Amino acid sequence: MYQCRREARSAFVPLRGLRYHVRLWGEPSEERTPLVLLHGWMDVAASWQFVVDALRREHFIIAPDWRGFGLTEGPAADTYWFPDYLADLDFLLDHFVAERPVHLVGHSMGGTVSMLYAGARPERIRRLVNLEGFGMPATRPSQAPGRYARWMDELKALHRGAMDLQSYGDAEGVAQRLMKTNRRLDLDRARWLARQWARPDAQGRWRILGDAGHKVTSAQLFRVDEMLESYRRITPPVLWVEAGDDSLSRWWQDRFTLAEFHERLRCVPRLQTARVEDAGHMLHHDQPARIAELCETFFSNGD
């Protein structure tokens, strides 16, 4: 099984009425900018371990399990609203770094959160790295009634237990599932990740550490004009990193293309771009050394 070079420690923080779990690496330092790592949908903070191990410099690293993922509690309500991630991040920075600006790295959903947050709180970010945080396809107001209906139907299915996450007989089954999803993930890393991504229940079944409520369609439409306005207000430098595999087109086909997203990026004032070959959407698993190198080179230009 994969052996960690840098061991994380866990902290549980009371945050907005939830018991938030955060992984920490390194120690705070006045000389070094804190580094915050934000995982994606149906992932956990431990997912960053391979990148952390590949870093050449010492950093104080803060990586939360988002609400309802990993070891962080979910809310009492049965619905997840995207603005809550921004507020959780804001409170988290208050707790760990006070007024100090941070380097922010987000993957997928975490990358989308990072961009929106940087538009709202640009003074809190020194440099931002977005790893395949695309956002969502554009929507139209005419879709709202149908979206509300689908949201209510899926909530009923959730409460019937019809949307429960799949369970597995053992950790090896979880590892095999991870490798099926990501063909580049080797067995050693998959076995390590499986024990961070899932836990056995009282019956011995290994269950994913994620609230099934995350699968419910959002009642809110995705408003591209709001996102673009956030992009325009990002004042710190941004590094956009995409994988050699075009996962966006595979997910959404012609509903949302890579060319369309590149057009959105034109609104970011201080943008740099990079491409990581031989990698898919989970590029921090596929090429962790390359991601670590890109981040540290980008950060060093600002420290």
Domain parsing of the chain, residue ranges: 1-138+223-303
Cα distances (Å, whole numbers) of residue 166 to 58, 117, 205, 239: 38, 32, 10, 35
Q: Kindly report, residue by residue over 16-53, the tens digit of the pLDDT.
A: 999 999 999 999 999 999 999 999 999 999 999 999 99
Q: Kindly report, residue by residue over 231-247, the tens digit of the pLDDT.
A: 999 999 999 999 999 99
Residue 135 · residue 241 · CB < 8 Å: no
The CATH fold assigned to 1-138+223-303 is: Rossmann fold (3.40.50)
pLDDT exceeds cutoff 60 at 303? no
Instruction: Name, in order, each residue with C-beta under 8 angstroms of 150's C-beta and a sequence gap of 6 or more.
Output: 217
pLDDT for 220 equals 93
* Overall average pLDDT of the 271-291 stretch: 98
Instruction: Name, in order, each residue with C-beta under 8 angstroms of 239's C-beta and a sequence gap of 6 or more.
Output: 127, 128, 129, 130, 272, 273, 274, 294, 295, 298
Quote the crossing angle between the two packed helices 224-232 and 109-120, to the nearest 10°.
60
Under the banding of pLDDT at 50, 70 and 90, the label for residue 301 is confident
pLDDT exceeds cutoff 70 at 302? no
Interatomic CA distance for residues 120 and 77, integer angstroms: 26
Instruction: Name, in order, each residue with C-beta under 8 angstroms of 185's C-beta and a sequence gap of 6 or more.
Output: 178, 179, 193, 282, 285, 286
**Length of the chain in terms of residues written:** 303
pTM over 0.95: yes
Interatomic CA distance for residues 135 and 113, integer angstroms: 9
